[in-house]
Amino acid sequence: MTKPALELLWQQEFDDSGETGPNLSLWNFDLGDGTANGIPGWGNNELEYYVASAATIDENSNLVIRAERNHGAELPAYYGRNAEWTSGRIHTAGKVEFLFGRIEIRAKFAAGLGTWPALWMLGADIAEVGWPHCGEIDIAEGRGDQPAALYTTVHGPSYCGEHGKGKVTDIGLELAKDFYVYSIDWLPDSITWKLDGETVLELTPADVAGDWVFNKAHFLLANLAVGGNFTGPVSPDLQSAELSIDYIRHYSIDGVGSVEFLG
């Protein structure tokens, strides 16, 4: 089979800006516990309170999102007391949008019972149509109680939340032990997920129970959640965890794919 022609259209290597955190011309921070966004607990009863200081660039030029147990900072949470955890969530909404192509992210997931690292995308029209009608593409998610399980999922009308369409792949190795390349080949009417170049899932409109809402622009997100509906209880011994991202790259595939800079 002939390999597709790839053209690099956008990249974040986190090694050439001289910054100590994500480039703010490209990235935004989500802050707080979700209450200000109308979704306390970020819609999943999560425990973290997002702060900008949780996303930094380390000495190895990795973007690191660090979750830490909160030991006294006054961060009132929706559950009636100070937030138990701080962490980070960044996204490109309103600054960079993508339509089709390959999204490739080299990352090392967080370890620890109750952690929930996520690399994902949302439809750029979320403010107009809401979730899940905007579409959500989960490039890669993990959970601390299943250290070798890779979650790859889409959410849309009639197939969202616990009914999202996707697959759980046991890769036989702990995702927090090393860096892996998580990617999607995203084309009109198809999305193919790969781990280190090997296909783990392919979906088309025939595979979902409602409208296919992915043939439109999306933006990128990366975050490290703690606790909540998806990943469950947090180990009382866990004090911190890190999601590390080496790079993010976006390519066109045989000429299909575009990136738009808005900010």
Catalytic annotation, residues: 136, 141
4 DSSP β-pair partners: none
Greatest alpha-carbon span in the chain:
58
For residue 211, the one-letter residue type is: D
Rounded Cα gap, residues 173 and 142, in angstroms: 12
Residue type, 237: D
- Say how far apart CA 43 and CA 72 lie, in whole Å: 25
3-state secondary structure of 54: helix
Q: How far apart are CA 126 and CA 96, in angstroms?
A: 15
Show Cβ contacts of residue 11 under 8 Å, excluding neighbours closer than 6 positions: 247, 248, 249, 250
Q: Give the pair of three-digit tokens for residue 123.
A: 């439809």
Note the residue count of the chain: 263
